[in-house]
Amino acid sequence: MNDRFLRALAREPVDRTPVWIMRQAGRYLPEYRATRARAGSFVTLCKTPELACEVTLQPLARYPLDAAILFSDILTIPDAMGLGLSVEEGVGPRLAKPVRTRADIEKLGVPDPETDLRYVMDAVRLIRRELHDKAPLIGFAGSPWTLACYMIEGEGSSSFARAKALALDDAATMHKLLDVVARSVAAYLAAQASAGVQALMVFDTWGGLLAPDMFGEFSLRYLAQIAQSLQIHNVAKSIPLILFSKGANAHLEVLADTGCAALGLDWTIALGDARTRVGHRVALQGNLDPAVLHASPDAIRREAKRALDSFGPHPGHVFNLGHGITPDVKPESLGVLIEAVQDLSRRA
């Protein structure tokens, strides 16, 4: 198997820097849009293992990527808790039954991954079979804070003021919610590992919206709880965990202390500076600005080189964007980037 990605996460030497792309199975690909149209809805695409498998594999057929990532959504857990997920084209995800009161939150239980999220586990098993060890498969979940934001608001928000107000006014209730979500995420990730994923990633998309004290109390604490739970259950020994707290570069040192294997980075920090700050505790994944893919091939190559040079000739770098690839990128542009990373990082 191509194990560059796993070796880089273990901070072992590799022949060239591994690369995969957040949201690589996504709307910028015409073949994805075709499958998505066939599925009828985004949620059906997620919930049908054959279709989820199909779109997971599409970018690997097109590009020489070093990892596949399960096609799914971070809101599968709230959906399995009974909140009712739908995703409207161009509007974003919506939960029909947001949680607003302590009573709402006390009713929530930890979903059983093999029954309540069976479709995800079936997708993982199918993808592993169909991948034929061409590349490792990454499983993922949303962070407790990020999921709690959606569960309270019922939809996306620029400020998640309702979620923050609950945290400020009734921290005990917010912790109750975050704890049940964190236990659900840990169980879900452990089950994905049992089903066959070879690395795990937690997306803390909204952690960076928190003031520093609140980040520690309401986001970081539960990321650490998940990392520790995976260690206790012996998952973390063999399955590396990547934490990605977008917009939270002020907190890299404490994120690196959670026991994760790697940190995902957005593009607002130089890779070399991040490496200096976290030392050799963790590998780093990232971090090209997705907007670079709107520039010319020359600029894409130049920026890829800048990122590789910034990290330097050390082990422990997984190349990626600093956020998901956007639907309006030309597939050829991603091809240019991947080729550049592979050419420029090849060890003599």
Is residue 263 left, alpha or beta, with left meaning phi > 0 and alpha meaning psi from -120 to 50? beta
Annotated active-site residue 188? The verdict is no
Pairing state between β 92-95 and 85-88:
antiparallel
Residue 245 token pair: 């707290």
Candidate residues 16, 176, 294, 305; the one interacting with its own copies per rule CB under 8 A: 294
In the DSSP assignment, the letter for residue 141 is: E
CA distance 48 to 146: 25
Annotated active-site residue 94? The verdict is no
CA distance 120 to 187: 13
For residue 303, state whether it binds its own copies (rule: CB under 8 A).
yes
Candidate residues 1, 91, 211, 232; the one interacting with its own copies per rule CB under 8 A: 211
Q: Is 262 helix (H, G, I), strand (E, B) or coil?
A: strand
CB of 84 to its own copies, least distance (A): 25
CA 192 to chain CA centroid, Å, is 14
φ, ψ for residue 13, nearest 5 deg: -65, 145
Pairing state between β 262-264 and 241-245:
parallel
Catalytic member of 23, 94, 128, 301? 23
CB of 249 to its own copies, least distance (A): 7
Catalytic member of 27, 102, 118, 125? 27
CB of 216 to its own copies, least distance (A): 11
For residue 125, state whether it binds its own copies (rule: CB under 8 A).
no
Catalytic member of 4, 7, 11, 73? 73
CA distance 78 to 70: 18
Annotated active-site residue 23? The verdict is yes
Closer by beta carbon to its own copies, 313 or else 327: 327
Annotated active-site residue 275? The verdict is no
For residue 40, state whether it binds its own copies (rule: CB under 8 A).
no
Amino acid found at 126: L
Closer by beta carbon to its own copies, 107 or else 302: 302
Size of the site for its own copies (CB under 8 A): 37
Which range in 157-165, 188-196, 255-263, 338-346 contacts its own copies by CB under 8 A? 157-165
Q: For tokens 């690589």, name the residue.
A: 24
- Nearest 5°: CA angle at 12, between 10 and 17? 95
Annotated active-site residue 150? The verdict is yes
Site string for its own copies, 226-265 (x = CB under 8 A): ---------------------x-xx---------------
Candidate residues 32, 160, 203, 311; the one interacting with its own copies per rule CB under 8 A: 160
For residue 109, state whether it binds its own copies (rule: CB under 8 A).
no
Q: Which of 149, 152, 136 is nearest to 101 (CA)?
A: 152
For residue 210, state whether it binds its own copies (rule: CB under 8 A).
yes
Helices and strands (H, E) in the chain, number of each type: 17, 9
CA distance 198 to 194: 9
Active-site residue list: 23, 27, 36, 73, 150
Binding region for its own copies (CB under 8 A): 159-162, 164-165, 168-169, 208-214, 247, 249-250, 267-270, 273, 289-292, 294-296, 298-299, 302-303, 306, 326, 328
